[in-house]
Structure 1
Amino acid sequence: MRRVPLVWLIIVPVMELISIYWVGKWIGSGVTFLLIVLSAIFGVYFVKREIRKVWLNARMQLSRGQMPASSILEGICILVGGILLIIPGFISDIFGLLMLFPLTRPIFQALILLFIRKGISNGRIQLFFRK
């Protein structure tokens, strides 16, 4: 089971390089480079803009005495989506955009919540409560 992340660390960059090569061959290397740089700039801008909304929503929930679980999941999606946009490559850009758009973000929030619940039930994730 520990070899799975190692395999992904090899496969994903190779897939990204192949996608960059094919897009560069299709539309030209200069435009491909420009797209990669613009996606990183867009990612940073969009994360800064969306994280403010999430932060304000979380503060409002905390002021009402509610746990901001949905805001935390949104923040995780925005952070991961922004990181995926900053990483050069088109496959990561697609997933990054999907995680940043408000219409598709709930899908990834559900997947993250499922991952957390599965980790808690398997004992891989442990919760500690303080008094």
Structure 2
Amino acid sequence: MFRILFLLIVVISAVEIALFVWLGNVFNVWFVLFGIILTGITGAYLAKNQGLGTLSRAQYELGHGRAPTEEIIDGIAILVGAVLLFTPGFVTDAIGFLLLIPQTRKPAKVWLKKILSEMFRKGSIKVFRNY
């Protein structure tokens, strides 16, 4: 798993650098810098709004005696999306925006639920309870 993650980080970084150079040649350096700053600011605003909305829904679910499972998965997706948006690069920004917009976050949630249920089934995630 570590090797795949390491390779993915290296490949994405190389793609991001190539995209920066290409866009810098097509437009100019200021366009690229403005794009990086604009996506960071927009992402921070969107992450804050989505995060607070998710937190509010989680509190509502807890207040009514229900486990906030959907909200926890939303929170994980929002956190990952926000981190990707703060990472300079247009590919990571695109993925980050997809995770922050509720309609495009749904496929990621389905995928994450599938992975987590498989990990629980295999026993690679263990739940310890202190009663």
Shorter-chain TM-score bucket reads over 0.9
CA distance in structure 2 between the aligned counterparts of 1:85 and 1:9, rounded to whole angstroms: 15
Corresponding residue for residue 76 of structure 2 = 76
- Describe the SS at the equivalent of 2:84: helix
What does residue 90 of structure 2 align with? Answer: 90
Cα distance in 2 between the residues matched to 1:2 and 1:62? 36
Give distance in 2, aligned partners of 1:11 and 1:120: 30
Q: TM-score, normalised to structure 2's length?
A: 0.92
Paired residue for 2:10?
10
TM-score, scaled relative to structure 1: 0.92
**TM superposition outliers: structure 1 runs of 4+ over 3 Å:** none
Between the aligned partners of 1:3 and 1:49, the Cα distance in structure 2 is 35
The two structures, once aligned, show a CA RMSD in angstroms of 1.3
CA distance in 2, matches of 1:68, 1:58: 5
Q: CA deviation at 1:32?
A: 0.8
Unmatched tracts of structure 2, length 5 or more? none
Q: 1:130: how far off?
A: 2.4
Q: What does residue range 1-131 of structure 1 map to in structure 2 within 5 Å?
A: 1-131=1-131
**Amino acid in the other structure paired with 2:7:** V
Alpha-carbon distance between aligned partners in 1 of 2:106 and 2:14, rounded to the nearest angstrom:
29
Q: Which whole-Å CA distance do the structure 2 matches of 1:111 and 1:70 have between them?
A: 13
1:17 CA displacement: 0.9
- CA offsets per residue over residues 22-70 of structure 1, 9 Å max, x none? 2222221101110001111111111111111101100000011000000
Q: Secondary structure at the match of 2:48?
A: helix
Measured in 2, the distance between the counterparts of 1:10 and 1:50 equals: 29
Runs of 5+ unmatched residues, structure 1: none
Task: Return closer, same or farther for 1:122/1:20 CA change in 2, 3 Å cut-off.
Answer: farther
CA shift for structure 1 position 9: 2.5
Q: Separation in 2 of the partners of 1:129 and 1:20?
A: 48
Amino acid at match of 2:92: S
Q: How many correspondences in the alignment?
A: 131
Percentage of identical aligned residues: 28
